[in-house]
Amino acid sequence: MFACIYGQVSPKDGFSDDAKQALLIDLAFTFSPLVERTFVDTVVLDISGDELLFSSQNQAEVNWTRGLGDEIARRAAESGLKVNVSVAANPDVAIHAARAFKGVTVIPAGAELSQLGNLSIKLLDYSLAGIDEKK
């Protein structure tokens, strides 16, 4: 499972790009030792194993991932960041969801098409597929 944190760009928030990037990375490392900065405003973290911290024995996967997403968003707000958070089985799906949907989004494995299928092609990040912007 992967989570993506997308820090929405706002000139009014008072953060420089470097400061926002540092806050996003620090926030991600709070929840996982495996973090990748994919863009200045986006980090992806491997949350495999976090279910031990965020779920009870009988809790469904969607519930603990929703709880984790809510906790990431809460801590971001405490730091003064406005973020979108998504959780998915695939890191690219998590990135697309965080960039396309406001707040916390959980996309269970197998539900990717139903959740992302209606998005405009313009919202999808072509660079994740290795496509040149000019083509």
Query: For residues 5 and 26, is the Cβ–Cβ distance under 8 A?
Result: no
Reply yes or no on whether the pLDDT at 56 is more than 80: no
More confident residue, 111 or 49: 111
Mean pLDDT of 49-75: 73
Domains along the sequence of the chain with CATH: 2-123 (3.30.70.270)
Reply yes or no on whether the pLDDT at 100 is more than 80: yes
pTM over 0.85: no
Mean pLDDT of 69-86: 93
38 class by beta-carbon count within 10 Å (0-12 exposed, 13-18 middle, 19+ buried):
middle
pLDDT value of residue 85: 98
Q: What percentage of the chain reaches a pLDDT higher than 70?
A: 77
pLDDT per position as a tens digit, 11-47: 566 667 788 888 899 999 999 999 999 888 899 999 9
pLDDT value of residue 120: 82
Q: Is the dihedral of CA 59, 65, 66, 68 positive or negative?
A: positive
Q: Are strands 2-7 and 35-39 parallel, antiparallel or unpaired?
A: unpaired
